[in-house]
Amino acid sequence: MLTAVIYTTTHGTTAKVANIIRKRIGPEKTVLIDLRECPDPDITEISRIIIGGSIHAGAIQPSVKKFCSRHLNELLKKEVGLFMCGMNRPNYAEQFENAFPSGLRSHAKSICYAGGEFLFEKMNLLQRMIVKKIAGIRESMSKIDRSEIDRFVSEMLA
């Protein structure tokens, strides 16, 4: 079965998670689709779709929302997995609810809060100030949750 991991990323972390998922499933059976390069991919021939994005100021990227709403009926006929990158653990569930349509969430075979990273070298001045002020973080850190990603992939392949 061919799997597409369809994602977007702001500073590169969701792309890293998409690559981890691809390696776990098997690179020869998985295609990665970056919505920044391909905003409206044709998914008719793909039976398993994994969709992911990251949370900035409480919201997932509009391109992820647009893809999900545009392809909702088609997605509901396929095997679907949803993942989200973020650093504000207490808000994960609420952010996830706002990120994906409810019909797609209940249809999903598995979901994943994949953790995230603060990459100061990739942030602009305003983003650095926000992260310092709101999260109290002053230097780059990585909290990608590899065991949660492993669980997610196992559930998707079960």
Ligand X SMILES: Cc1cc2nc3c(=O)[nH]c(=O)nc-3n(C[C@H](O)[C@H](O)[C@H](O)COP(=O)(O)O)c2cc1C
The footprint of ligand X (CB under 6 A) covers 9-14, 54-58, 85-88, 91, 95, 116-118, 123, 127, 130-131
Rounded to an integer, what is the distance from CA 84 to the centroid of its chain? 4
Structure-block tokens of residue 19: 């690559």
Handedness of CA 96, 101, 102, 108 (dihedral sign): negative
Distance CA 158, CA 153 (A): 9
Q: How far is the CB of 67 from ligand X (least distance, A)?
A: 15
Q: For residues 125 and 158, which CB has a smaller minimum distance to ligand X in the complex?
A: 125
Report, in Å, the least distance between residue 22 CB and ligand X. Answer: 15
- Specify the residue, 29 or 66, whose C-beta has the smaller distance to ligand X: 66
**Min separation Cβ 1 and ligand X, Å:** 26
Whichever of 130 and 157 has its CB closer to ligand X, that residue is 130
Minimum distance, C-beta of residue 6 to ligand X, in the bound complex (Å): 13
Phi first, then psi, for residue 60 (nearest 5°) are -80, 165
| Cβ burial, residue 8 (10 Å; 0-12/13-18/19+) | buried
